[in-house]
Amino acid sequence: MQPKPRLLLATVMLTALIAVGAAACSSGSSSSGSRTAAPAAATGTVVHIKNYAFSPSTLRVTAGAKVTFVNDDSMVHTATATNGSFDTGHINPGASKTVTVRGSGSIPYMCEIHQFMHGQLQITG
């Protein structure tokens, strides 16, 4: 019995999506086996928003630093601290907003429009 063309197409597309997802999850990792430690925080003052994600997802900055969020995506996003310490408001595609970071410790943030998008600032004194 021959598979129906639509079922075959759906199977091929699903297989391709799984392969792309697996490649994205393993990119940047040169070791074999499972990853147990979280990736180290990047340093700098710029966070890019692309493909519904903050990059880097964790950024290490010093207290008082200015952090710029650049929207490289095709949708409006925000970067809003869960503790209320900063909020960029809407960042249109191709635009950027800068916030000044205060305090110390870890500040998780998210996009208020797409609440599955999360990032974190690690602030040192």
Tell me the CATH number at 110. 2.60.40.420
> What's the rounded mean pLDDT across residues 29-37?
42
Q: Give the end-to-end CA distance of the chain in Å, rounded to a whole number.
A: 68
Unique residue bearing structure tokens 């890019």: 48
pLDDT band, residue 17 (cuts 50/70/90):
very low
Q: Is the pLDDT of residue 113 over 80?
A: yes
Neighbour count for residue 49 (Cβ, 10 Å): 26
Q: Is the pLDDT of residue 30 over 80?
A: no
Residue 85 in domain = yes
Q: Side-chain half-sphere of 57: how many Cα atoms within 13 Å?
A: 9
Residues 6+ apart with CB under 8 A from 81: 87, 107, 108, 109, 121
Positive or negative, the CA dihedral 27, 31, 37, 40 is negative
For residue 67, what are the CA distances in angstroms to 3, 16, 43? Answer: 54, 37, 11
Residue 90 in domain = yes
Residue 52 in domain = yes
Return the bridge partners of 93, or none.
none
Tens-place pLDDT, residues 47-91: 999 999 999 999 999 999 999 999 999 999 999 999 999 999 999
C-alpha to C-alpha distance for 69 and 95, rounded to whole angstroms? 9
Residue 95 in domain = yes
pLDDT of residue 5: 56
Residue 78 in domain = yes
Average pLDDT score over the chain: 79
Residue 22 in domain = no
pLDDT of residue 43: 62
In three-state secondary structure terms, 15 is helix
pLDDT of residue 4: 55
Q: What is the pTM of this model?
A: 0.67
- Number of domains into which the chain is organized: 1
Q: Which domain holds residue 89?
A: 42-124
